[in-house]
A and B are shown apart, each in its own frame.
Chain A
């Protein structure tokens, strides 16, 4: 199907995110704008004004009530999605590179940049999922990353752990309650920063993307690497699709490294891999800059990518996408269908 091209940003995209129902798509970019779009037709619902710096990150709570954003103006802001009203601003000494709600929306974590003598930190804030409630100023918890700064972080299932990806290619597991470091495991190549970390729907495992040109599927519980997806270009983002067992990777040669001799050098494509078999299935072209962020619709109907070129492209999947199956998958499907039939018959 033809992709929907969203041209609402004037500068490079930094993150895009679907809400839980998959009907809204939020996008932030370096042009200090937050946009929200209808995912099914690409119509813009509105924008959120207030940030005074490039916005690095965004997240939406599970009920699609509140929006959190982190920016280079050293703030995390909370917005009411419906009205665009600014609910709360937290100030930090440095830029905020990542925000994420916990699975029930009661907590928000923020990753702050290491700069000007400040170490990189992961802060946790308590959130009341009520647009009229007073949000607390207090930080519930602050984790200081002394060795290598965290670039990305997220909450695991039950908010049990905070998982962080670091600049040196390692992944840490912190206790979600008290912030103790439980593990720090070198997962990606040394000193190749982890650029993205996205969860499976039940937050039991996650996918990382790294500049070392690989993406890995890792368990939240004991940081075991389940799968590795090799690409031929530095990766900026990776996501796990619903309904089908695929992962989507996005990346491309960094703008400053792109040679002028050949457009094909850039490799500005979204790559689909089979999640379980680790084999590449296909690529989607279209962007004319590196892909900075990819997101999969939680309902499995579409995916979107945001590029350095300032565009967001929403792709709705065709029938062929759903029909495609490896023979062993089909085998399993048939078996399951049979079992179901038997059950209904016996019932």
Chain B
């Protein structure tokens, strides 16, 4: 019998030659110590399998294995599928992975994945099943979960109601470590709404309709909103770098250049409205830092999201289930870029629902380059165009999706010189006709459509764009359609070119008509040119067939400007010099649409300025028209209000000044009196120096006789020059 604690012999207690601490038992401990629950961590339970018979079973196992091996390693003999007494499977299986980490990955990535049309996999850890599903753990009787009482949340759109009734737009400013919101007050100091220190770590971003403000932290992103700026939602994603919303704010994609490392947490894509987070394929965050952003492009109605696999295909996913459309990516060999139409387009003669995107492929071998317009969900290419000697192409949708302009950079046969043509697809017209603008001799570096309009501005340069110390001179050209009969839009014609500019950026008013052509992020110049394309003055004879009348309204200068943004109403333009780009004269300027400066503020470490977007108007077309018709009456009321406000503000300022002045003189009086009294107590003269000076002057005058000092001042009153002949 082995010695045990119960049967101790006397010799065992001999402490002289027996020291417990000396005995090395680590090898025994290693061998026999029970490791709690270990061994089951690598097991998962797969539910939701189809019912199979013994014969069908190997086939199912093989099929299942394919899925299971996408996240880890397992073998056929590690899958155990219990069979019922009736010879049919019991629709679940135990699977052993080679490590607990793989099992965890399987639960995360394979759970809720459809196996086929009828069956969806449910994957759980065996230990979890054991822990939560063991007999007695679950009450036999159903007790309804307690539903928390409904608590009214703050209205997220409350910001639309300006308490002063002036429909002022809000903006966020990120300066130093502080993030603050303000209401635009035109010339006066912006009315501060909320100001918080360290609200974000890297930047802030509005959601597309202005409902939420996103703050970005090392742990993830947070959404804020409502009148009291409470946190609406928090999404964990360690070391997140970028955030993108879907157009209707339903979904949010976050991206980090580090792989997601914390298990159970952090989904690259999260949905706001559905409790079950739609998880995109987990490989997205692991791509190289040069990952194209936004990684996922959304269709205008949030129904589809697509991702480019450069050179191969475009994967289109259906929402909210986040399943691949028709289970396969759309193969387009060589595809370089694609872009969804920014609005749901109603094509002429097409009745069914569709979303459009445009893509292009470069020349491969002897095949020409190709631009295509694809309709989803039918995946039909509704229009395609072949192009030759293409070095690059950029896709520019008009805001309503009525046109898409493909800016094609072409090289000559020697590949030396570059020229640009614009291929404009008229999406809404029958058969999608393509119009080519090939009158441009130079390289176009920037292009912008008029929002909701059909005019555009380009900036071109003769020299190749490269990292030169002095940016090349550019020219700005305006294009508009010719006048045409009825509702038709005529051919695009060149309106005017302005040469020898430095401009490099185009900012259209969100309402169209006005455009700012600016020179940004340039150390030499920083012009902001404000143009009106529907100038109400006289129209030059040469433009009489065109649908625009161009007029330069004003030129402003904001030294070191890095960014320009129109407010959502198209009434104001904010320009700012961000400390992210350089540290010279950081701060912002505010202009009205005419280019008149309203405000200028220099703020140290000013980083970011963003107008709060507004959701689309709820007024119908007729209502909007009615307002436009009666604009004069409305504006009269507003003008009156403005005048009153200004005069009342003036009164307040004067009152405050009067108060300051009184306060100051009251203080002066009291201190002067006090000092005088004190002087008297000390027996000092009222003016400490007067006596001394008197003494000195008397001393001087006794020294010598009184002197008269004369100084002659000459002043030239007038000078005339006459030439005498």
Chain A residues packing against B (C-beta within 8 Å): 20, 62-63, 65, 103-105, 129, 157-158, 160, 202, 204-205, 219, 221, 226, 232, 245, 259, 261-262, 264-265, 276-277, 326-329, 331-332
Q: Are A104 and B689 in contact (CB under 8 A)?
A: yes
Q: Return chain B residues, CB-CB under 8 Å to A103.
A: 688-689
Selected from B660, B671, B696, the residue in CB contact (under 8 A) with A221 is: B671
Which residues of B pack against A, CB within 8 Å?
Answer: 523, 559, 584-585, 602, 654, 657-658, 660-661, 664-665, 667, 671-672, 674-675, 678-679, 682, 684, 688-689, 692-693, 696
- The reply to whether A204 and B672 form a contact with Cβ atoms under 8 Å apart is yes
Report how far A220 CA is from B660 CA in the complex, Å.
20
A129 and B692 in contact, given A202-B675, A204-B671, A262-B559 (Cβ under 8 angstroms):
yes
Q: Chain A: which residue is nearest B692 at the CB level?
A: A63
Residue in contact with B696 in the complex, picked from A65, A158, A205, A332, CB distance below 8 Å: A65
Contact across chains for B675 and A62 when beta carbons are under 8 A apart: no
Question: CB distance B657 to A328 under 8 Å?
Answer: yes
Asked if A104 and B688 make an inter-chain contact with CB atoms under 8 angstroms apart, the answer reads: yes
A168 to B672, alpha carbons, bound, how many Å?
31
Could you pull out 10 A-B pairs where Cβ atoms are within 8 angstroms? A20-B689, A20-B693, A62-B688, A62-B689, A158-B679, A160-B678, A204-B671, A205-B671, A261-B523, A328-B654
Question: Across the A-B interface, how many residue pairs have beta carbons closer than 8 Å?
Answer: 66
Per the bound structure, the CA–CA distance linking A205 and B670 in Å amounts to 13
Q: Residues of A contacting B665 with CB < 8 Å?
A: 332
- Given A104-B688, A105-B689, A264-B559, is A332 in contact with B661 using a C-beta cutoff of 8 Å? yes
B669 to chain A, nearest CB (A): 11
A119-B392 Cα distance, complex, nearest whole Å: 70
Q: Are B671 and A232 in contact (CB under 8 A)?
A: no
Does A202 lie within 8 Å of B654, measured CB to CB?
no
Judge whether A276 and B523 touch: CB under 8 Å: no
Dominant secondary structure of chain A at its interface with chain B: loop
Q: Which residues of B contact A329 (CB under 8 A)?
A: 661
Residue pair A63, B682 in contact (C-beta under 8 Å): no
Residues of A within 8 Å of B696, CB to CB, are 63, 65
Interface centre among B665, B675, B684 (most CB of A within 10 A): B675
The answer to whether B672 touches A202, judged by C-beta atoms less than 8 angstroms apart, is: yes
Q: Which residues of A contact B674 (CB under 8 A)?
A: 221
Residues of A within 8 A of B679 (CB): 158
Q: Which of chain A's residues have a CB closer than 8 A to the CB of B654?
A: 327-328
Q: B692 touching A158 by the CB < 8 A rule? A: no
How far, in Å, is A165 (CB) from chain B's closest CB?
21
- A70 vs chain B, min Cβ distance (A): 22
A202 CA to B682 CA, complexed, in Å: 17
Nearest residue (CB) in A for B713 is A41
Query: For residue A245, which residues in chain B have a CB less than 8 angstroms away from its CB?
Result: 664
Residues of the B chain whose Cβ atoms lie less than 8 Å from the Cβ of A276: 660-661, 664
Query: How distant is A244 from chain B, measured CB to nearest CB, in Å?
Result: 14
Whole-angstrom distance between the Cβ of B526 and the nearest chain A Cβ: 11
Cβ B692 vs Cβ A277 within 8 A: no
CB distance from B671 to the nearest CB of A (A): 5
A329 to B658, CA, bound (A): 8
Q: In the complex the two chains form, what is the Cα distance from A276 to B671 in whole Å? A: 16
Q: Do B689 and A63 have beta carbons less than 8 Å apart?
A: yes
Contact A259 B689, beta carbon cutoff 8 Å: no
Q: Contact at A232–B692, with CB atoms within 8 Å?
A: no
Decide yes or no: A261 and B675 within 8 Å by CB, A63-B692, A104-B688, A129-B692 being known contacts. Answer: no
Complex Cα gap A245–B661 (Å):
11
Q: Determine the distance from Cα of A248 to Cα of B688 in the docked complex, in whole angstroms.
A: 26
Establish whether residues B667 and A226, one from each chain, have CB atoms under 8 Å apart when the complex forms. yes
A74 CB → nearest B CB, Å: 30
Q: Are A63 and B584 closer than 8 Å at their CB atoms?
A: no
A176 to chain B, nearest CB (A): 12
Considering the chains assembled together, what is the distance between the CA atoms of A202 and B690 in angstroms? 13
Known: A103-B688, A105-B689, A226-B664. 10 other contacts (CB 8 A): A20-B693, A65-B696, A103-B689, A104-B688, A158-B679, A262-B523, A264-B585, A276-B664, A327-B654, A327-B657
For the complex, give the distance between the alpha carbons of A105 and B654 in Å.
42
| B523 closest partner in A (C-beta) | A261
- Cα of A54 to Cα of B660 in the assembled complex, Å: 43
CA distance A157 to B676 in the complex (A): 10
Bound complex: CA A261 to CA B560 (Å)? 11
Instruction: List the A side residues contacting B672 at CB < 8 Å.
Output: 202, 204
Q: Which residues of A contact B675 (CB under 8 A)?
A: 157-158, 202, 204
Task: Name the residue on A nearest B650 (C-beta).
Answer: A327
A219 to B688 CA separation, bound complex (whole angstroms): 20
- Report yes or no: B661 in contact with A328, Cβ–Cβ below 8 A: yes
Q: Which residues in A have their C-beta under 8 angstroms from that of B671?
A: 204-205, 219, 221
Given the complex of chains A and B, what is the CA–CA distance between A232 and B585 in angstroms? Answer: 10
> Inside 8 A of B584's CB, which chain A residues have their CB?
259, 261-262, 265
